A and B are shown apart, each in its own frame.
Chain A
Amino acid sequence: MSELLIDTITKSYKKYKALDQITLQISPGMFGLLGPNGAGKTTLMRILTTIVEPTAGTITFGDVTWKQPEAVRQLIGYLPQKFSLYKHITVTEVLTHIATMKGMTRRKEQAVADVLEKVNLQDHRHKKIKELSGGMVRRVGIAQAILHSPKIIVVDEPTAGLDPQERIRFRKLLRQLGKEATVIVSTHIVEDIESICDTLAVLKKGHVIFNGSLQTLTEMAANDVWEMEASKEAFFDAIDELDIISSKYENHRYRYRVVSTNPLPGAKHVTPNLEEAYMYLMGQAQR
């Protein structure tokens, strides 16, 4: 299966550079795109989905180049963040409509039935969109994205607004898609990436500040994540001084984890999780 090659992509809006010479090589499987607001994730997604044209640089996937947007659109399945579609038509009607719009002519009904089964919405196929829960609408969203078995699936903030149960179910669904396609998940929720992605890129202010596996990222922060314990008063005093990533209140004391390049008195090294590694990376990038 081909790789998605993003080569020195730049996108400028007048003097402002939303993306500055981004280069990424994305292999089939689950790929995460992580970054704070304004990092350029959305711009990159919009370029990948051909909604926006880059100012410079090239993108290719096998023989297909992004200079041929109509060809690219045949390759791509896209689930936008605020997906809801028309509220007054049924799930089957929506999917059949999108299937036709994607140029599917044969076995359209079968394809719709298959994706409904994949996203576990067979029992809701005659319901109107307005009658579905938020999680179900997201599943309809992913169903429409995979209708034509695209080679690249782009998913924007997939779990935003979902309850924990739906979120877990949706992550599982995405995971399954990664078996057969390149799935790019753009999010600012680190947990999503940690749960489903194999590799990721971290963007900040239009630049790639990390590109690699999750393990590599966590290893980068291996020596700089600490765990400490303090009384309630001491903990609140420390909040302003330290980069506290998480905390737990147990037996009238706080146990908390901190990212710091300097050893801290009374602190012990712990193995960092992705969120801590991401915070470490952001801190490093700031310096």
Chain B
Amino acid sequence: MRRIYQSLKVEWLLVKRRPWTWLVLLLFISATSFHFFLRFKEGSVGGALTSSAFLVQGGLFVSLGFGYYSVNLEKASSAEELFGTLPYGKQAKILGKLSLLILLALFAVCCAALLYVLLTVMFHEPFFYFSHVLEYFLLYWFLPFCITGIIGMIVGLVTSSRGAYLGLLLLGILMGPLNMALFETLSLWLSRDLYPVAHFFNVGQTDPNTPFDPVYGYPLEIKRYLQKGILLLLVLWLLFAMILKQQRSFYKVFGIGSVLFGLSSTVLISLYRHDDQVIYTALEQNSVKKYDSRYYEKHSQATWPTTKNVQVTSYDLNVTAYRGLAVSMKLGLRATAPSNEVVFTLYHDLHVTSVKTVTGQALSFQQSGDQLHIHHSLKKHEQATLLISYAGTSSPYFFANEQAVMLPSYFAWLPSIGEGVAMKWVENSVRPYPIHAQQPIHYKVRYSGPLPLYTSLKKQQETVWEGTTTDGLTLVAGMMKERVTQSARIVYPSTLSKTLTHAEDYVKKVKRMSSEIRKVLKLPTKAAITDVYFLSIADESPHYASNIRFTRGTMFVGVNELSLYVDQAMIPAVTLAVIRNEQVIKQPPEMTDLFILSYDYWYEQAHPAIKQEEKPLLLRNLDLYQDDPEQAVLMKRYKTLLAFMKHHDNRELQSFFRAWAQSLRSEKAMNDQDVQALMNREDGAN
């Protein structure tokens, strides 16, 4: 140890006395400060780290170079032979260099963390998620710098030729965020999804453009630690094998070491291969944007007809969120008519392992797409309890793992009597059907997973929640907080404490606007909103804000770190939230979109008090696409509607929109003629 320590001291002296060291440090601190400062200034505290891929990439190149340089230092000074003749000389030198590499990586990370702390204080940002920040620095800065530094050392031990620099450059690209660009091209070229390979070798951020998800937090899943663990083990073993090579007892030690390495890497690889939920945000097939979209593009139909004569009365659940979602439950049923089967809607990646009666009798079941078909006979008014167990990965949009849980009630994470398909594919995005039941259901949840957990149920014990609700069951856990206001209980991401200071106002505005729209469209009055969840749920339309969703007494608002709550953008989101039912989702999307944009236009005209930061969406789209031949049909629709709206007063238009909304909410699929007919009817009435 003394030799290693002495070696470390000398290595430090050498590094310290090199002007390059201070120049690189200065560059690193300047670039990090500049980047963090800009992000903090624009309010993206979480994004300050997730968008630091270029800093990490730079750090990886520096680490590779440093590792290479450090082991070649003796070659350059002709001291390599000398240390080879000292007792354990080379080994002590290499271990000293390795120690210095680790310390320098730690120093760099500490500098960056300190900058982060300073800016947090400066910008009065909350500190409570700082452990996640440190974890992020460990996983995406410290470990990658160490791994690439060791790789640099290995390259230096193998060769000191000039070609090594090219090798280091390529390795730096392969092992950093830059490899995404490389593998993206290769994937396109070879028509194969090579992103998993890219992810495995990339020790930095997997997506340099990752926006910070305020609910999910930083991507710190176990799988990412395992990936780094495997790579670290591999490079350490290679390094030690090269050091051991200097010893006469090489083969003996190498043999024992290989066995240990083989065993530990096998364990890590098998854990790594475990099917678990990792949120990927790049363009790979299993990314948030692509996974469900690709699936529902091909799976739009249910296999079995929806059960209509069975109701769920209760769920008694054991929910575990760790590397994925595992649920076991006692599910209470009541038949309203005789039935031989029960068909539930359940997200397709949640795999049912057993279905039993309370007496322990196994029931046969099948899963197809988002449906679970159970063969079980029920007489009219008969009540039954089924024991169902399932596990798997939830949708990337609605995650559940050791890091965070975001399972809103309208998503099919619980077996529910419903549509048979959890989402509808629309223009490379998806729109979840409202799956949850409308009648009161009793829920009891025993939960194991990330804390704190937020749900509308009452907390009975430390990990048990219970209650009866008509809103379905929403579970949210992770970096979340709650605030009880006069109007509702608001659950929101901790990172948005500062930006969501006006959340209560926002909720009031949405409530007021939704009530107004309901009145105009003569839709049934809604129960009072008691729970509001600000979550990272995705917009359902690429054309307008569609980040609001209602269940009976709950409101879900999609937010991101940079959300701006402009009143103008609220109109389409609230309008869609108000009219949305399963039929609206089933309608051709262009019909729904046309309604939303037209209503938005009219609403803005009818409410001049609303601050118009931009033109209404309909006019903006018209400006944008009026010369685009591919959008000619759409532009014609816009122009017809605009002309129609200009020639009718508010009362007539309210009547028109009311009829249109009712058509959208009915089973018949709408088309242009139907809209025209509605306009004609209004024209005829006048």
Give A contacts to B, CB under 8 Å: 46, 49-51, 53, 67, 69-70, 73-74, 76, 78, 80, 82-89, 93, 96-98, 100-103, 105, 144
Contact = CB atoms under 8 A, between A and B. Distances in A.
Contacts of B2: 100, 105
B74 to A, nearest CB: 8
B81 A89 contact: no
B600 to A, nearest CB: 69
A78 B85 contact: yes
Nearest to A98: B86
B80 to A, nearest CB: 9
Interface secondary structure of B, over-half rule = helix
Interface string B55-91: 0000000000000000001000111011111111100
Contacts of B451: none
B6 to A, nearest CB: 4
A88 B79 contact: no
Contacts of B89: 73, 101
B248 interface: yes
A73 B83 CA distance: 10
Interface stretch (B13-21, B118-126, B570-578): B13-21
A89 B13 contact: yes
Contact of B10 (A51, A74, A83, A89): A89
Contacts of A88: 13-14, 17-18
A26 to B, nearest CB: 17
B6 A100 contact: yes
Given A50-B85, A73-B85, A102-B87, A85 B248 contact: no
A86 B87 contact: no
B6 A97 contact: yes
A105 B5 CA distance: 13
Given A53-B248, A89-B17, A73 B6 contact: no
B77 A86 contact: yes
A96 B2 CA distance: 12
Given A87-B77, A89-B14, A100 B82 contact: no
A103 B88 CA distance: 9
Contacts of B376: none
A84 B87 contact: no
Contact of B78 (A69, A78, A80): A80
B85 A51 contact: yes
Given A69-B248, A85-B79, A105-B2, A97 B87 contact: no
A209 B626 CA distance: 99
Residue from B18, B82, B89, B248 whose CB has the most chain A CB atoms within 10 Å: B82
**Shortest 9 CB-CB contacts between residues of A and residues of B:** A100-B6, A82-B78, A88-B17, A73-B87, A49-B85, A78-B85, A80-B81, A97-B10, A51-B84
A103 B77 contact: no
B31 to A, nearest CB: 26
Contacts of A49: 81, 84-85
Given A83-B78, A84-B77, A101 B85 contact: no
Contact of B81 (A51, A73, A101): A51
B179 interface: no
A84 B78 contact: yes
A93 B3 CA distance: 14
B50 interface: no
B7 interface: yes
Could you tell me the dominant secondary structure of chain A's interface residues?
Answer: loop
Contacts of B87: 70, 73-74, 101-103
27 contacts: A49-B81, A49-B85, A51-B85, A69-B247, A69-B248, A73-B86, A78-B82, A80-B78, A82-B78, A84-B77, A84-B78, A84-B79, A86-B77, A87-B77, A88-B14, A89-B17, A93-B13, A96-B6, A98-B86, A100-B3, A100-B6, A101-B7, A101-B83, A101-B87, A101-B89, A101-B92, A103-B87
Given A69-B248, A85-B77, A102 B10 contact: no
Contacts of A101: 3, 6-7, 83, 86-87, 89, 92-93
Given A67-B248, A89-B10, A101-B92, 10 more contacts: A51-B81, A51-B85, A69-B247, A78-B82, A82-B78, A86-B10, A89-B17, A100-B6, A101-B89, A103-B3
Contacts of B14: 86, 88-89
A205 to B, nearest CB: 24
Nearest to B247: A69
Contacts of B7: 97, 101
A76 to B, nearest CB: 6
A70 B3 CA distance: 14
A86 to B, nearest CB: 5
B82 to A, nearest CB: 6
A170 to B, nearest CB: 17
A70 to B, nearest CB: 5
B128 to A, nearest CB: 45
B86 A86 contact: no
Nearest to A154: B85
Interface centre among B84, B92, B247 (most CB of A within 10 A): B84
Q: Which of A49, A86, A88, A89 has the most chain B CB atoms inside 10 A of its CB?
A: A86
A53 B120 CA distance: 59
Contacts of B18: 88
Contacts of B6: 96-97, 100-101
Contacts of B17: 88-89
B554 to A, nearest CB: 67
Interface string B93-114: 1000000000000000000000
A225 B82 CA distance: 41
B13 A83 contact: no
Interface string B231-266: 000000000000000011000000000000000000
Contact of A144 (B13, B82, B93): B82
A71 B200 CA distance: 44
Contacts of A85: 77-79, 82
B8 to A, nearest CB: 11
Contact of A86 (B9, B73, B84): B73
A70 B92 CA distance: 13
Contact of B88 (A67, A70, A86, A105): A70
Contacts of B78: 80, 82-85
A139 B7 CA distance: 22
A83 B79 contact: yes
A256 to B, nearest CB: 39
A105 to B, nearest CB: 7
Contacts of B93: 101
A76 B77 contact: no
A117 B288 CA distance: 72
A80 B82 contact: yes
Most chain A CB inside 10 Å of its own CB: which residue of B2, B17, B18, B85: B85
A53 B248 CA distance: 8
Nearest to B81: A80
B484 to A, nearest CB: 64
B85 A76 contact: yes
Contacts of A103: 3, 87
Nearest to A76: B85
Nearest to B80: A80
